[in-house]
Structure 1
Amino acid sequence: MVFRDERWPEGTPSWVDLMVSDQEKAMAFYSGLFGWTVHPGDAESGFYGMAELRGRSVAGIGRTPPGQDVPAVWTTYLAVSDVDRTAAAITEAGGQIVMPVLEVMKAGWMAVAADPAGAVFGLWEAGDHIGTQVTAAPGALAWNECLSRDYAVAKPFYEQVFGFGFQDISGDGFDYSVLLLDGRPVGGVGTLPESAPPQVPSYWAAYFWVADADASAAKVIELGGTVDGKPFDTPFGRQARVTDDQGVSFMIIAPNEQSGEPEGWEA
């Protein structure tokens, strides 16, 4: 387990949160799966809950605002040093701002945007809250990737706005590039699998570390969620696509022989 107290570099996926109609149900599900302790906020914060591991923030779980018909999804936030400047760059590059810049008390500043292919993501300019403070442990954020219906449009958009470099690892039937900042992998952008139903839009996927993918997949089912197929091995870890008990999809991933354990890993 590695703790972090410094701001995340520009463009790094630094936070994820989930807004759902039943916050208490979500808190129970994810606490049961990941061992999180979730502290709901007060009325001023909209009762936004901070999920923690060993007293350090790892994710947010909030209530969908009354009267807002928005899908329940895990939203990935990219760290920025100037949210207004980045929002302007997004529109210049062909994206759009879905939710204008908002000051979140002393925590920081946020906005929600969509790339030209429709994938929605957040921007986070840190104030008192830097984003996730734990890595390399079960329950911590492991990876974020944009799966797009128009890879050829999405890839140059993220390069223009965030200055990403790319490591192409495409294969037969799919395109995929690792997003690089100063040569360091921070995320990915790829094509949405052909197996995805036509109503599924481009989206950012969140992966969470677990100690044992098979055991965690079984736990998902025990908690009322579902598992898409069976866990499978990749060069990056053993993973599975799962859905919580309110229909929200995300990925779980555990170290395997091919990937090895990340630096500082503590199960």
Structure 2
Amino acid sequence: MAVQPEGTPCWADAMFTDLEGAKRFYGEVLGWTFGESSSEYGNYTQVFVDDKAVAAVVPPMPGQEGQSQWCLYFSSPDAAATAERIRENGGDVLMEPMQVGDFGTMCLAREPSGAVFGVWQPGAHEGFEATATPGAYCWAEVFTRDPEATDAFFSAVFPYRMKDVEDDAVDFRMFDIGEKTVLGRMRMTDDFPPEVPSYINVYYTVDDCDAAVAQATEHGAVLRFGPMTSPFGRFAALTDPQGANFSVIDITTTEGEMPKTRDV
């Protein structure tokens, strides 16, 4: 896939204390295969579906052990300039832009409500080689306790146009680049335990949502929500055995009309 426009989700990775356990789990649930670990880059291991790179897993660096979580990266033509806008708009730069060989330049940051994300300036590695096919990334949502701050931040850092879903039951906003919707934002309700911080939830595509949930729970995952059928597909939210949240979605099984939206 070509380099994506600025602000488009372009890559995802996660740190796992038990890297082999993570490989077994996601191999069973999402059909992933794994490349050779690169000792030069901290045993960073790319994940493949049908020989196309779709994500990566890596063991934590010494001192960084903790609960695992998926990190979504947004494309940037200039990671240093993006890092500066992150600071200017109330975010924290957790890792300064760092060149990773000839692959590209990465940066890690946190938006004002606490969700951690990455920035990727592509080099030889442009990002996802497949999306919206079984085993590959499909969609992501920022779950936040302070949607006003989150919305202001992301729309200032990236060239997003925003629109709200017209539904009194949820506070849900979409971020567009051109005519393409690339990210969602959901206000966290009291249904979320207070100790759960804001985070970005990554969706992976599956052939059969119910079968994926059965596989995941059989291999130690916790089902958090669903399966539920929506106009976008049948999906469920899970927590993997090492504590990383993610969702699965079958985009071929849909129900109901697409929600109406209004520009913000």
Asked if these proteins are the same fold (TM beyond 0.5), I'd say: yes
Q: Which residue of 1 aligns with 2:255?
A: 258
Confirm whether residue 56 of structure 1 aligns to residue 52 of structure 2: yes
- Secondary structure at 1:40 match in 2: coil
Q: Find the aligned partners of 2:112 and 2:22 in 1 and give their Cα distance.
A: 31
1:115–1:170 distance in 2 versus 1, CA, 3 Å: farther
> Where in structure 1 do 4 or more consecutive aligned residues deviate above 4 Å?
none
Query: Which residue of structure 2 aligns with residue 171 of structure 1?
Result: 167
- Residues 157/41 of structure 1: CA separation in 2 closer, same or farther (3 Å cut): same
Structure 2 distance, partners of 1:254, 1:139, is: 10
Mapping 1:66-77, distance limit 5 Å: 66-77=62-73
Corresponding residue for residue 78 of structure 2:
82
* 1:32-181 matched pairs, under 5 angstroms: 32-181=28-177
Name the residue aligned to 1:221. 217
Name the aligned partner's letter for residue 123 of structure 2. Answer: G
> Contact 2:222–2:240 (CA<8 Å) still a contact in 1?
yes
TM-score, normalised via structure 1 length: 0.92
- Counterpart contact for 1:174–1:193, Cα < 8 Å: no
Q: Whole-Å Cα distance in 1 between the matches of residues 155 and 239 of structure 2?
A: 31
Q: CA deviation at 1:259?
A: 7.7
- The CA deviation at 1:65 is 0.8
Q: Which segments of 5 or more consecutive residues in structure 1 lack a partner in the other structure?
A: 261-267
**What is the identity, as a one-letter code, of the residue corresponding to 2:255?**
Q
SS in 1 for 2:61: coil
Tell me the SS of whatever aligns to 1:87.
helix
With over 3 angstroms needed to count, the CA separation of the structure-2 counterparts of 1:238 and 1:110, relative to structure 1, is: same
Closer, same or farther in 2 for the Cα pair 1:151/1:170, shift >3 Å? Answer: farther
8 A contact 2:44–2:57 mirrored in 1 = yes
Deviates more, 1:61-70 or 1:87-96: 61-70
- Asked if 2 retains the 8 angstrom alpha-carbon contact of 1:144 and 1:187, the reply is yes
Q: Alpha-carbon deviation of 1:208?
A: 0.5
- Tell me the CA shift for residue 71 of structure 1: 3.0
Deviations 1:172-202, CA, capped at 9 Å, x for gaps: 2431111100121111122113200001111
Does the 8 Å CA contact 2:234/2:254 hold for their aligned counterparts? no
User: Where does structure 2 lack aligned partners over 5 or more consecutive residues?
Assistant: 258-264
Name the structure 2 match of 1:236: 232
Task: Tell me the secondary structure at the aligned position of residue 35 of structure 2.
Answer: strand
User: Could you state the TM-score of these two structures normalised by the residue count of structure 2?
Assistant: 0.93
Which whole-Å CA distance do the structure 2 matches of 1:240 and 1:167 have between them?
24
Cα distance change, pair 190–257 in 1 and its aligned pair in 2 (3 A): closer
Q: Distance in 2 between matches of 1:108 and 1:182?
A: 25
1:229 Cα shift?
4.5
Hey, what's the Cα distance between the residues in 2 that align with 1:243 and 1:117?
A: 21
- State the partner residue of 2:261: none
Whole-angstrom distance in 2 between the partners of 1:166 and 1:258 = 25
Secondary structure class of the residue paired with 1:85: helix
Partner of 1:199: 195
Over residues 121-168 of structure 1, what are the superposed CA-to-partner deviations in whole Å (9 max), with x where a residue is unaligned?
000001111111102311110101111110011101111110200121
Contact 1:170 1:177 (C-alpha < 8 Å) held by counterparts: no
